[in-house]
Structure 1
């Protein structure tokens, strides 16, 4: 009888050890690895470190009011041809005493999905007073401000502006601070060290249309300065957004990538 009890106890102990061994396997062992960028994607800073980067979607200062999914680092990633073309545009602008400043470059599909979820949540309007004061949130899809796919995810599209050199620092956004309309006079908008383009970045308003006739004088000259610098290097503007340009021809005209915005997405291939 004692021999039988001892054997049963040994079997129970072995079973318990086996269960502990299974439980001890790290959860990450079965996690799907993050996708990597194709070899012809680069960090813009490796091609031209003089271009200023203010990656808005890594911060809380965007139309959603929080960092956006997929932005692991505040860095600009682009296809190599687009990055090289920006480098050439930057060289021309620097001779005139200006610099490019990028707000967004490659954008993973998970970030676009984040925008879509936010747009469908009509109760979340915390950033309305700055980014879409005159647009009802129910109209964001119909009016084209939000879509389920973005050219940014193909890697050759960039949102950018022009800064007068020497560049002054831009103060950090403080979450919860009072907001002012993105289309107001420059001195009343959230401070930006860029030249006056007539609206702030990501302004959901018809004044942001590149050739809106209400944009005149210095503001018109500044938009033309940006467009002339970029169009000469193969970039095409989106007429509804003065800051939005796509390098043509695109390397990946039909592919929407979802690797994270991070240095590790460009390494270990």
Structure 2
């Protein structure tokens, strides 16, 4: 029967030397790393205002959405740099971008879909004319989302140094944003970018936003004035599921 091999015992001095050697080897960072190609918007352009709605309760679910562990905007590097260029262009007019949602984890999209199945009456603030169970069928909540590809952003424009304080009848809005006729995530035909019947100022602000984003390489989703996707997005067929975490 073979005799088990015994490892030689280290002297106290040798053990101490080994401990020092291990301590000197740099260990990998324990912080949550982003997938290759993704960045935090604050690291690219901290001047862009962030008001990430799904990380709190000021949204159509009235609660935090699964996957939003922190109120942070994460985007592909290309999308973040394109937004930064737009920010620099409008800063000359004392304006700033305000982002409400950026990358959206696939579990968050599923959470929204499951939430609609619970049913319920219209919500005067968020979906005043349809029932909760109709939000997917009416196209207001998607079973899939371009946000999960990392190059789509929900955005508005605000003035720097001056409060606008719009009070839309539908949707949620940052207190400093310009008047866009509705707030972000108003699930109603009024949110269609070219909706007729808007006040002159609101219509002009929507055109300004679309023009600024188009000049920066983004295309608008016609049913939502706030929704834009980078035309040259790097991940056209991939959807990601990593959570949104703090730095």
Of 151, 175, 181, the match for 1:198: 181
Query: Does structure 1 retain, via aligned residues, the 8 Å contact 2:45–2:84?
Result: yes
* Corresponding residue for residue 204 of structure 2: 221
Change in CA separation of 1:190 and 1:81 when aligned onto 2, cut-off 3 Å: closer
Give the structure with the higher percent helix. 1
Could you tell me how far 1:224 is from its partner in structure 2?
1.0
* Corresponding residue for residue 144 of structure 2: 149
CA distance in 1, matches of 2:145, 2:238: 10
CA distance in 2, matches of 1:164, 1:44: 20
CA distance in 2, matches of 1:191, 1:46: 22
Give the TM-score normalised by structure 2.
Answer: 0.82
Question: 4+ runs of 1 displaced by more than 6 Å?
Answer: none
1:81 has 2:64 as partner: no
Query: Does structure 1 retain, via aligned residues, the 8 Å contact 2:119–2:131?
Result: no
* Corresponding residue for residue 243 of structure 2: 260
In structure 1, the gaps of 5 or more residues are 1-34, 171-179, 184-188, 265-269
* Corresponding residue for residue 106 of structure 1: 103
Change in CA separation of 1:191 and 1:41 when aligned onto 2, cut-off 3 Å: closer
Query: Does structure 2 retain, via aligned residues, the 8 Å contact 1:36–1:259?
Result: no
Change in CA separation of 1:168 and 1:217 when aligned onto 2, cut-off 3 Å: closer
Change in CA separation of 1:190 and 1:82 when aligned onto 2, cut-off 3 Å: closer
Could you tell me how far 1:203 is from its partner in structure 2?
0.1
1:237 has 2:220 as partner: yes
Query: Does structure 2 retain, via aligned residues, the 8 Å contact 1:72–1:262?
Result: yes
Partner SS, residue 124 of structure 2: helix
Could you tell me how far 1:84 is from its partner in structure 2?
0.4
In structure 2, the gaps of 5 or more residues are 1-31
Which structure's relative contact order is higher, taking Cα pairs within 8 Å and 6+ residues apart? 1
> Structure 1 stretch 255-264 or stretch 105-114: which is displaced more?
255-264
Could you tell me how far 1:249 is from its partner in structure 2?
1.4
CA distance in 2, matches of 1:206, 1:192: 23
CA distance in 2, matches of 1:76, 1:63: 19
CA distance in 2, matches of 1:168, 1:67: 27
Of 47, 52, 55, the match for 1:55: 52
CA distance in 1, matches of 2:173, 2:156: 15
Of 182, 201, 225, the match for 2:170: 182
Give the TM-score normalised by structure 1.
Answer: 0.75
Matches within 5 A, 1:105-184: 105-123=102-120, 128-166=123-161, 168=163, 181-182=169-170
